Structure formats: C-alpha cells, structure tokens
C-alpha cells in the first residue's frame, strides 16, 4: 500500500531525511519512532504532501504521488490520505458536526450521504452526543476524537498521525491508544503514526521504523526490535528499561569493561557489549564480573524492582526481585553475566 524509495529531504544544506526506503503492506500500522529532531515528522509531512521530497519517490497503492528527481508531487488533497495534527487544528467557528462534515462538503458529497457518513463516524468515535458543541466547549481528549473523526470521514486509504496523543494526560493517552487500535481494526486503513514514545510504538504497531539523525536504524515488527536490535541506538532506545551498553577495550591483562578488567572474549579489541537489564544482578561484594556504581534510582516495575547506577557517564539498569537496605547515593555492585547478549562496533552496527 505504501512504498518509499530512497527518500531524501533537504532544507538548504541540511538533510533532515536521508535516503529512506520502506515498503509497508496494506492495512499495516507503521510507527515512525525516534527522538525529537530525528526527522520523523518531516518524513510524515513529505508523505502528506506538505513538504516536497528532494530525492526519491513515494508510492500510494501503486500510484506515484511524489518524485523528488522530477520535482513533482500530487496535491495533498488528491493523495487519498488523511492527516491528524498534533494540535488537532479544529475550526473554532464550526460545531463538532460541522468539523467532521467539512471534508465531505469539499468532496461535493450529496447532503443525505454526508449526514449518514457524519453520523457514522461520530458514533464510531463515541462523540455523537457532542455534535452540536464547539471545540472550546469540549475537552482535549474529545477534541482529539473530533480531529480523528474528521480525518477518517472521507475514508482515506492512508491515515497519517503526527504525535496525536502528546497533548493528553497519561491516563487519557492509554485510553486513546486503545481507541486508535480499535479504529485501525475497524477502518482497515494503512496507518503511519509518529511518536517519540516507545511504549506507544510497542503497543500499537504492526511495523516500526526506528529513526535517528534522518536515517532508519531498523525496520521490523516490535518483537524483532526487542529481541534482535541491529544497532546500539535501537538497543538503548527501545525497551523498558532499555538495554545496557558497556564499552570494551583491550588492556595489558586482557579486556576491560568501563575501565574494569573482565573475563570476556569480545569479537574485536574495541567494541560495545550489550547486557539486558534482567541479566544483571546486585551483589554485596566485589567480584571478577562486577562494576561499582553509585545508586541513583530505585523504582517498582511489574512486581519487581528497577535499580539504576551511575559511574562517570556510564549508566546501568538492572531488574531484580528485591533491593533491600540500599539508599540513593550508596555504592553498589552490578554483577554482569558471563557473556553479553550481543556485541556492537563502536560505530553502532551489530557484530556477528
């Protein structure tokens, strides 16, 4: 349904999106995941037609809608796509019904059909009771539902969401995630969703593209990103808590992890070792596989305890059953397993 070929977007000399290629099947829920400023919203705006590609092509349902080499792009209104903005962007002088009905009027849909379709999406989003109210008379969560209803009313083939839940409180975000997944199942529309929240990504997506500095670091199912991270960035950005990355260097006695001698066998003399939080242990005394750290955080997570230590710039997190008799500021010992889960080159690529 959606194909991106070697897409690049420049602003002057700055490349916000760098040679991205993706192929998304019909009915997929694709999440563009990455930190602020990584290029994910720019990519979404190019998909929507609000920005023109500098290079590459975008294809919706086997139809080219943008060609950067030819400096050609289909008008946003003719792409069979709908965009939900982060700010909702509702017409303040129109009622809820008027906002939802407006794109159908633009399509010149007959009045009877407009009313039927408007009632249908108002009921689908459970906002029919708000039909005669105006945006300033309803809550933020209700405004978001109106914005979504307005977008799906014309039945677009591709739905685009630009961090739509970031303005909502934590409880409402969880509820709206459920509603969006239900909506996706109901409409069957191919969906592209931008967020920096990896919990949203792991919860909602069928496919995830992790983006950093304008490039796709990894593309695949959420479970693939967790189980088989392809770069050190993915390993530390995806997962709750994220994986631990420790630099390994060659020393006179063998190899050192974060400056401490360790009995490890890395694939190269200068690389990064990845340890999952659940494989680290807290021990009372120093051992050949332990690292001393300052305790900086202790928190409960799913019936267990998450413990975080800091040493210079290195931050390690362990998931343990109990963490008794320790206080913030104490020096604690994190014991590493005999071997890491995987290795990365210092440039970030996975080794082996």
Task: Give the per-residue pLDDT at 171.
Answer: 86
Domain residue limits at 286? 244-345
More confident of the two residues 7 and 86: 7
DSSP character for 242? P
Identify whether residues 219 and 286 lie together within a single domain: no
pLDDT over threshold 80, residue 153: yes
Task: Give the per-residue pLDDT at 219.
Answer: 97
pLDDT over threshold 90, residue 39: yes
Question: Which residues does residue 335 pair with via DSSP β-bridges, in sequence order?
Answer: 281, 290
Identify whether residues 97 and 193 lie together within a single domain: yes
Identify whether residues 173 and 251 lie together within a single domain: no
Q: Is residue 37 part of a domain?
A: yes
Q: Read off the pLDDT band of 232 (50, 70, 90).
A: very high
Q: Read off the pLDDT band of 86 (50, 70, 90).
A: confident
In total, how many domains does the chain have?
Answer: 2
Q: Read off the pLDDT band of 176 (50, 70, 90).
A: confident
Task: Give the per-residue pLDDT at 201.
Answer: 93
CA atoms of 209 and 189, how far apart (whole Å): 18
Q: Read off the pLDDT band of 204 (50, 70, 90).
A: very high
CA atoms of 238 and 197, how far apart (whole Å): 9
CA atoms of 114 and 97, how far apart (whole Å): 11
Angle at 40 between CA 3 and CA 164, to 5 degrees: 105
Mean pLDDT of the region 179-185: 90
Domain termination residue (choose one: 177, 207, 237): 237
Cβ atoms 110, 119 nearer than 8 A? no
Domain termination residue (choose one: 218, 237, 256): 237
Average pLDDT, the chain: 93
CATH number, domain of 212, equals 3.40.50.300
Q: Dihedral sign for Cα 322, 326, 327, 329, please.
A: negative
Q: Is residue 216 part of a domain?
A: yes
Domain termination residue (choose one: 237, 267, 286): 237
Q: Is residue 40 part of a domain?
A: yes
Task: Give the per-residue pLDDT at 213.
Answer: 96
Q: Read off the pLDDT band of 88 (50, 70, 90).
A: confident
* Structure tokens, 171: 């409880």
Task: Give the per-residue pLDDT at 269.
Answer: 87
Task: Give the per-residue pLDDT at 252.
Answer: 81
Q: Is residue 266 part of a domain?
A: yes
CATH number, domain of 249, equals 2.40.50.100
Q: How far apart are the first and last CA of the chain?
A: 33
pLDDT over threshold 80, residue 273: yes
pLDDT in tens, 279-326: 999 998 898 899 999 999 999 988 899 999 999 899 999 999 988 888
CA atoms of 145 and 129, how far apart (whole Å): 12
Q: Read off the pLDDT band of 169 (50, 70, 90).
A: confident
The closest alpha carbon to 68, from 24, 21, 9, 13, belongs to 9
């Amino acid at each position: 349904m959606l194909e991106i070929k070697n897409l690049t977007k420049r602003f002057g000399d700055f490349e916000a999106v760098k040679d991205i290629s993706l192929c998304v099947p019909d009915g997929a829920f694709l999440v563009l995941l990455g930190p602020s400023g990584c290029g994910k919203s720019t990519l979404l705006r190019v998909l929507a037609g609000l920005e023109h590609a500098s290079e590459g092509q975008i294809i919706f349902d086997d139809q080219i809608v943008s060609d950067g080499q030819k400096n050609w792009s289909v008008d946003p209104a003719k792409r069979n796509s709908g965009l939900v903005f982060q700010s909702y962007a509702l017409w303040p002088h129109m009622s809820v019904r008027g906002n939802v009905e407006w794109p159908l009027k633009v399509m010149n849909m007959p009045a009877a059909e407009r009313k039927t379709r408007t009632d249908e999406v108002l009921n689908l989003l459970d906002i029919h009771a708000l039909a005669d109210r105006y945006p300033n008379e309803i809550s933020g969560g209700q405004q978001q539902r109106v914005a979504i209803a307005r977008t799906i009313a014309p039945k677009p083939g591709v739905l685009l969401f630009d961090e739509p839940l970031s303005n909502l409180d934590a409880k409402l975000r969880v509820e709206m995630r459920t509603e969006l997944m239900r909506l996706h199942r109901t409409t069957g529309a191919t969906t592209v969703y931008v967020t920096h929240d990896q919990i949203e990504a792991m919860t909602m997506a069928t496919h995830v593209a992790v983006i950093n500095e304008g490039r796709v670091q990894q593309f695949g199912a959420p479970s693939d990103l967790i189980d088989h991270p392809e770069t050190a960035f993915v390993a530390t950005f995806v997962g709750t808590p994220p994986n631990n990355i420790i630099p390994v260097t060659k020393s006179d006695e063998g190899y050192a992890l974060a400056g401490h001698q360790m009995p490890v066998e890395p694939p190269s003399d200068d690389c990064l070792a990845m340890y999952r939080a659940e494989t680290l242990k807290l021990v009372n005394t120093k051992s050949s596989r332990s690292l001393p750290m300052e305790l900086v955080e202790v928190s409960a997570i799913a019936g267990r305890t998450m413990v975080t230590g800091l040493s210079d710039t290195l931050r390690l997190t362990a998931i343990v059953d109990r963490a008794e008799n320790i206080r913030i500021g104490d020096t604690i010992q994190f014991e590493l397993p005999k071997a890491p889960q995987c290795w990365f080159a210092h440039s970030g690529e996975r080794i082996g």
